[in-house]
Amino acid sequence: MRQPVFFNTLGRRLEPLEPLVPGQVRIYTCGPTVYDRAHIGNLRTFLFEDLLNRSLRFMGYEVTQVMNLTDVDDRTIQRSQDTGKSLDEITVPVTEAFFSDLDALAIQRADHYPKATEHIAEMIALIERLIAAGYAYESGGSIFFRIAEDDDYGRLSGFDLGQVRQGERVVSDNYDKEDVRDFVLWKAAKPGEPSWESPWGAGRPGWHIECSAMSMKYLGESFDIHCGGVDNIFPHHENEIAQSESATGKPFVRTWIHAEHLIVDGQKMSKSLGNFYTLGDLIEQGADPRAIRYLMLSVHYRDKLNFTLEALEAANGALKRLDEMRFRLAHTGASPGESRLVASVEKMLEAFETALAHDLNVSESLAALFGLVREVNTAIDGGAVVEGDREHVMTALARVDEVLGVLDPEAWRTEAESEGLADDNIDALVAEREQARADRQWGRADEIRDQLQGAGIVLEDARDGTRWKRQ
RNA sequence: GGCGACGUGGCCAAGUGGUAAGGCAAGGGUCUGCAAAACCCUCAUUCGCCGGUUCGAAUCCGGCCGUCGCCUCCA
């Protein structure tokens, strides 16, 4: 089993993965706040996590992934009050849309999607442990974490809170805290807000405690990897560490991996700039989700991803090249003889995995793949494809697609695209045109070609006959 | 003010000490009844700038310039 290295935010360096249980990796990934549809920036992070899971499985690890659904927070409550809808009326449809976005991008499902509102008891229990140990205190019905008690607070983000500028957001926080740096674990209910009963009266959990409680419930008090967007490093993940380790006295997470943000046309995505997109927006504008997946996968997760129309076009072009190779290989004849491709395929697989194991260097994995594409193409042109080569290459493509999830065009074909002429009819027309060409009936041949083109069928007249493809 | 990231060909993007992967675009060629599609080839003496270390640096160190992120509930 390959031992990958990842960039651990805690320590800021590459480290080999050493799962607490050999061969098994437990991962917690911060999920969406389901008050509104996910934007493509959110999806980039989820796609990175999909890549991480798939890569680990590719290398032979057993992966357990948990992703929380934050279904109560300030924004959700605000939305509820603005619209007069209940929390559920807001979060249920958004959650459905979230899963449909995951499906559209071929993101594999996590093992658990715990909802905050269904784990209030676990959160209360964790808060009680913190109070009992002196790490938390009650004030006005709310509970706060006492940062002064946590001597290694700040080691993930590198922030020394004594040096941190005390911004307006802190000052304007109206809760009565011992220390402005303290963060809230439990919020006393305000009139009209949704609330749950607790030993301290009605209230609701703070955001940070949610992730600590749910990750521990499903993955244990110590686990291997915790992911999220870079913006979560401080304060969210810093606070998770503080709460969790103060409560359990054990190391919380061994490896923290954070995904950089996506920007659009060189600028931070924001509604005021008009460059704020959901997946649905892009699909409406004609973007292919398959190309979106390819594009987001092809840029390293720790680099900012500049999402542009041009980049999406390049992704389309790259996919086309891959499709063509597969298409040509499927239609080429094989002759008996010694295969030259077997060694190339093995080399590609080896390079592909090595690159992934090095902090998910997909660019390099893809380079290995394209190296094989050229060799296969050259073999096809030279008539050097032998028996068994096709299966060998196809098997290897299926293998790397366990990670990439973009190589099989059939898997991405929508119903609309599958409609139209049936394959048999197309085959018959192509055969008729072949006959017309043999008879030098150019008029009839071109007529058929135009007819098929009108139906979205492209013909390729190659040396060993005509082949066709859709679109 | 504090902490951090990044700057490689027209665009995107690998490469963290040994002499610049890959994709898109572009140019040339091949195939073809004509086309189309496709394939093949070519395409950075150079890695923001200036110094330094080294036999050797895009890679390490120092400085400068530029872009960007976080700094209490934004993936």
What's the CA A366/C1' B8 distance, rounded, in angstroms? 19
Say how many Å lie between the first and final Cα of chain A, rounded.
41
**Nearest nucleic acid nucleotide to A172, CA to C1' distance:** B72
Listing DSSP states for A218-235 in one string gives: HH-SSEEEEEEEGGGIII
Select from A264, A261, A303 the least CA-distant residue to A281. A264
**Nearest nucleic acid nucleotide to A445, CA to C1' distance:** B33
What's the CA A451/C1' B33 distance, rounded, in angstroms? 19
H helical segments located in A405-462: 409-412, 415-418, 423-438, 442-454
Select from A34, A25, A38 the least CA-distant residue to A65. A25
pLDDT at A469: 86
pLDDT at A161: 67
Please name the CATH architecture into which domain A317-412 falls: Up-down Bundle (1.20)
Strand B, nucleotides covered by protein (CB < 7 Å): 1-6, 11-15, 21-25, 31-41, 68-75
pLDDT at A171: 46
What's the CA A8/C1' B54 distance, rounded, in angstroms? 31
User: Can you tell me which residue has the tokens 């521990």?
Assistant: A216
Residues of chain A with pLDDT under 70: 161-175, 415-419
Give CA–CA dist A418/A396, Å, rounded. Answer: 26
Sheet (strand A253-259) strand order: A62-67, A24-29, A223-229, A253-259
What's the CA A12/C1' B52 distance, rounded, in angstroms? 27
pLDDT tens per residue, range A225-262: 999 999 999 999 999 999 999 999 999 999 999 999 99
User: Can you tell me which residue has the tokens 């922030």?
Assistant: A159
Specify whether the CB–CB gap between A373 and A365 falls below 8 A: no
pLDDT at A249: 95
What's the CA A384/C1' B24 distance, rounded, in angstroms? 29
What's the CA A128/C1' B28 distance, rounded, in angstroms? 74
Q: Respond yes or no on whether the N-terminal peptide bond of residue A235 is cis (omega within 30° of 0).
A: yes
The DSSP bridge partners found for residue A264 are A267, A307
Q: How many CB atoms lie within 10 A of CB A192?
A: 9
Burial A407-433 (b: 16+ CB within 10 A, else e): bbbeebeeeeeeeebeeeebeebbeeb
Give CA–CA dist A172/A451, Å, rounded. Answer: 69
Tell me: ipTM over 0.85. Answer: yes
CATH number at A5-259? 3.40.50.620
Give CA–CA dist A312/A405, Å, rounded. Answer: 17
3-state DSSP assignment of residue A73:
coil
Nearest residue (CA) to C1' of B16: A14
**Nearest nucleic acid nucleotide to A239, CA to C1' distance:** B72
**Nearest nucleic acid nucleotide to A317, CA to C1' distance:** B24
Domain residue spans of chain A: 5-259, 317-412, 415-470
**Nearest nucleic acid nucleotide to A355, CA to C1' distance:** B14
**Nearest nucleic acid nucleotide to A168, CA to C1' distance:** B72
What's the CA A183/C1' B60 distance, rounded, in angstroms? 41
pLDDT tens per residue, range A273-320: 778 899 999 999 989 999 999 999 999 999 999 999 889 999 999 999
